[in-house]
């Protein structure tokens, strides 16, 4: 499927470019918009991997709900653009390189000691991907095998609701 590959690489490029944009934009609103673009292109990536349900949920929840909240905060708090960056010295760059090295080492140790192989047990076919990514399969598993996890998620969401109300209602007297 040549078209899927072309789309994949195009979306991957957009995703990386917009992720960099989130970091380097000096104005918070541009940063937030880059993040929206990033989330949308990741949704597109899910679609190229035949995970249509997850892809659409990604748009609905992340782009349609969470980023709206972020945009609200930026608009409500009237955040100004940051001043232009100072020149970066050698210290942070050295720290970054060493940090990457440490991360690679940690990952290597984890992969080898827990016996996790990076190769899939069996090659994934398109039919399998479509089957496993469908909402129906998800429902079959989510409400039987992972029923307890679902309730824990519900309690977490309940806590979030209560917390939001408590924060907004607080009187700073």
Shortest Å distance, C-beta 89 to another protein: 32
Those residues whose C-beta lies under 8 Å from the C-beta of residue 19, and which sit 6 or more positions away, are 34, 38
DSSP-derived secondary structure letter, 89: -
Could you tell me which stretch among 50-58, 84-92, 93-101, 109-117 binds another protein (CB under 8 A)? 50-58
3-state helix, strand, coil in the chain (%, to 5): 75, 0, 25
Exactly one of 144, 171, 172, 173 binds another protein (CB under 8 A); which one?
144
Distance, CA of 55 to CA of 134 (rounded, Å): 11
Helices (H), strands (E): how many in the chain? 8, 0
Pseudo-torsion of CA 48, 53, 55, 57, nearest 10°?
180
Among 17, 20, 64, 94, binds another protein (CB under 8 A): 64
Binding mask 93-132 for another protein (x = CB under 8 A): ---------------------------------x---x--
Piece in contact with another protein (CB under 8 A), picked from 15-23, 54-62, 82-90, 91-99 = 54-62
Q: Which two tokens stand for residue 132?
A: 């496993």
Which of 69, 88, 116, 173 is close enough to bind another protein by CB under 8 A?
69
Q: Does 22 bind another protein (CB under 8 A)?
A: no
> Of 44, 54, 62, whose CA–CA distance to 129 is shortest?
54
Residues found near another protein in the complex (CB under 8 A): 1, 3-4, 7, 29, 33, 36, 47-50, 52-53, 56-57, 59-61, 63-69, 71-73, 75-78, 126, 130, 134-140, 142-144, 147, 150-151, 153-155, 157-158, 160-162, 164-165, 168-169
């Amino acid at each position: 499927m040549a078209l899927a590959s072309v789309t994949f690489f195009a979306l991957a490029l957009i995703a990386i470019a917009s992720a960099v944009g989130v970091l380097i934009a000096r104005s918070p609103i541009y940063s937030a918009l880059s993040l929206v673009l990033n989330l949308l292109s990741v949704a597109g990536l899910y679609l190229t991997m035949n995970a249509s349900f997850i892809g659409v949920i990604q748009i609905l929840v992340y782009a349609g709900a969470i980023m709206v909240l972020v945009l609200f905060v930026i608009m409500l708090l009237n955040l100004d653009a940051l001043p232009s960056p100072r020149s970066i010295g050698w210290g942070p760059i050295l720290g970054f390189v060493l940090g990457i090295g440490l991360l690679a080492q940690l990952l290597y140790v984890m992969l080898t000691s827990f016996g996790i192989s990076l190769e899939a047990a069996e090659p994934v076919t398109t039919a399998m991907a479509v089957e496993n990514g469908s909402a129906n399969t998800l429902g079959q598993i989510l409400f039987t095998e992972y029923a307890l996890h679902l309730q824990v998620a519900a309690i977490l969401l309940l806590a979030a609701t209560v917390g939001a109300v408590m924060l907004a209602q607080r009187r700073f007297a």
